[in-house]
Homo-oligomer: A and B are copies of this chain.
């Protein structure tokens, strides 16, 4: 009885994408704090150290997750004409991502502007705004401001929502929660666009 030629017992060909997909699924299921190298490895049925074949460190894993999230954002290219339409479309997709992946969202939203996965993506958006007629300087200023608004709103919205889902709310604390529902996100964005148009784009130097 000859021995079997192939013994494919060991799981091979684990890809970077397998890591980020499993990581995002884990974060959405159990929260950001559940993302540990050991926990992710057990999720992928491999030894903790196997992850380091595909990723240099935990920080590099998080950069890869942010890359993955940015790819999701870029699936539909915006097709607006005015800078206002472009900003609306860009932030709508940003908000949709926060709704779809609330626990992972802050990894993207709070990443420093100069981090390697984020900077090129922001460069693309700035280029789009320039194409819509803004100077590069105004485009950067406007993107910085609307992105700050959207990130701040959606991160705290997602965190408060996670807490509510976990049932950590006392009755007398419920009053403030409604301050930040998603309807207000759109109203605030419209106010911001109107104000930016009046003061930064059409307005003279104050």
Contact = CB atoms under 8 A, between A and B. Distances in A.
A191 interface: yes
Interface in A150-206: 150-153, 155-156, 159-160, 163-164, 169-170, 173-180, 184, 187-188, 190-196, 198-200, 206
Contact of A113 (B145, B179, B195, B200): B179
A48 interface: no
A67 interface: no
A188 B145 contact: yes
A145 B110 CA distance: 18
In the complex this chain forms, how many copies of it are found?
2
B122 A159 contact: no
A6 interface: no
A110 to B, nearest CB: 6
Interface residues of A, number: 55
A37 to B, nearest CB: 16
A176 B114 contact: yes
Interface of A: 106, 109-116, 118-119, 122-123, 140-141, 143-145, 147-153, 155-156, 159-160, 163-164, 169-170, 173-180, 184, 187-188, 190-196, 198-200, 206
21 contacts: A110-B155, A110-B159, A112-B160, A112-B163, A113-B177, A113-B180, A114-B173, A115-B173, A116-B173, A118-B176, A119-B173, A119-B175, A122-B179, A123-B175, A144-B184, A145-B192, A147-B152, A148-B149, A190-B199, A191-B195, A191-B196
